[in-house]
């Protein structure tokens, strides 16, 4: 009698699963997780900040309506005032787009106001105006980009600290503008250039259209191109970006050229508004642009920021200026309020940003689990 082979019990098998049901369930889970992570995680930080900035604008509107109800009760005046605010923000807004790229890339540009002045003075010389509107626009843009190229070369290849290099350019560009203009105001005789500030299309000033075009182009460049992704990478960790194959020096140079391009465009806009140019124009524009970028949520250390947030920051400051003007308040009080807002924004970045992100990430894990 032989022993029968031992019998082994097979493990219980699960019932067959329909692949289609699994795929649908996976899509639902991933979609739900994506929605949660978009709002609670770092990806929704820009949206949360922009909504907060829109809330600030609404508060400023309410304050204006409460303090000057006689004006805000007129819908036509409200619409005209909104266009005035956008027109007021247009020139600084264009400069701020370039500044946003520079700061996201880990740098800073203190010379933007001086570049605007130099480009404005150079394009309004008698020799340049003889070439017409096209010659003036070409000159302003080329001068802005050339100065940005010098800044970028000194910083990227000369290894100068951005603060020092652009501070030196601030002084040098102002001095060159004064030398070219002989410290005199140069009048723009070109009706096409002057019409940029005075003409409207569909009831909206041309300056607002230019601002919108620059903002849209900046948003696409930052969010939908390799250049934008490299900008974030360089600002977040230059060494890691270099190891990933990014030419950090060349990219840094291009960021300052882009800032100079925006300054050249702003020079034409400001010249059109004043129908003239002088070495003292665009005074302290660098501070206004940096403040708007900070208010918009861009980190001073680089690696994070949004074009829309910077635009909202510019509009907030323009709205504050408008609010103080219609209430007859002093410029000194206005500057104190702006300074307080800047300090509060920096403190929020340094103190609350890390803890807030950790809170949302922890809440996201608890919700998804």
Q: Which portions of the chain are predicted below pLDDT 50?
A: 1-2, 7-43, 353, 355-360, 362-363, 366-367, 369
pLDDT at 26: 46
pLDDT at 113: 94
Give the pLDDT confidence of 263-301 residue by residue, as tens digits: 999 999 999 999 999 999 988 899 889 989 988 888 888
pLDDT at 44: 59
pLDDT at 267: 95
In sequence order, the β-bridge partners of residue 367 are none
One-character DSSP codes across 191-252? HHHHHHHH-EETTEEHHHHHHHHHHHHHHHHHHSSHHHHHHHHHHH-HHHHHHTT--HHHHH
The pair of three-digit structure tokens given for residue 162, joined into one six-digit string: 């951005």
Q: How far apart are CA 302 and CA 36, in angstroms?
A: 26
Statement: the pTM of the whole predicted model exceeds 0.95? no
pLDDT at 361: 52
Pairing, β 186-187 against β 204-205: unpaired
Question: Contact at 8 Å (CB) between 123 and 143?
Answer: yes
Q: How far apart are CA 157 and CA 141, in angstroms?
A: 23
pLDDT at 183: 87
pLDDT at 227: 95
């Amino acid at each position: 009698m032989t022993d029968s082979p031992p019998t082994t019990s097979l493990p219980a098998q699960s019932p067959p699963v329909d692949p289609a049901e699994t795929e649908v369930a996976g899509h639902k889970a991933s979609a739900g997780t994506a929605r949660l992570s978009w709002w609670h995680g770092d990806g929704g930080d820009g949206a949360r900040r922009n909504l907060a900035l829109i809330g600030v604008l609404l508060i400023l509107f309410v304050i204006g309506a409460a303090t000057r109800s006689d004006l805000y009760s007129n819908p036509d005046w409200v619409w005209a005032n909104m266009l005035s605010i956008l027109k007021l923000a247009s020139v600084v807004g264009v400069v701020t787009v370039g500044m946003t790229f520079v700061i996201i890339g880990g740098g800073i540009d203190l010379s933007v106001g001086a570049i605007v002045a130099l480009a404005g003075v150079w394009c309004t010389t008698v020799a340049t105006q003889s070439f017409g509107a096209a010659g003036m626009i070409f000159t302003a843009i080329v001068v802005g980009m050339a100065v940005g190229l010098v800044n970028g070369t000194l910083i990227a290849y000369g290894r100068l600290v951005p603060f020092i290099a652009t501070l030196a350019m601030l002084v040098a560009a102002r001095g060159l503008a004064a030398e070219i203009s002989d410290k005199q105001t140069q009048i723009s005789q070109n009706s096409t250039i002057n019409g940029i500030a005075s003409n409207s299309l569909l009831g909206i000033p041309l300056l607002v259209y230019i601002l919108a075009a620059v903002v849209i182009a900046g948003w696409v460049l930052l969010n939908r191109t390799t250049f934008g992704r490299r900008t974030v990478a360089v600002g977040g960790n230059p060494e890691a970006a270099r190891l990933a194959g990014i030419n950090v020096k060349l990219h840094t140079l291009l960021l300052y050229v882009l800032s100079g391009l925006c300054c050249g465009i702003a020079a034409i806009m400001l010249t059109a508004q004043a129908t003239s140019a002088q070495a003292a124009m665009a005074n302290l524009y660098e501070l206004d642009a940096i403040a708007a970028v900070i208010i918009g949520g861009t980190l001073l250390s680089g690696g994070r920021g949004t074009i829309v947030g910077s635009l909202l920051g510019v509009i907030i400051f323009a709205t504050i200026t408008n609010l103080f003007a219609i209430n007859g308040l002093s410029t000194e009080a206005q500057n104190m309020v702006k300074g307080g807002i800047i300090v509060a924004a920096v403190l929020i970045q340094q103190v609350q940003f890390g803890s807030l992100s950790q809170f949302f990430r922890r809440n996201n894990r608890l919700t998804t689990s």
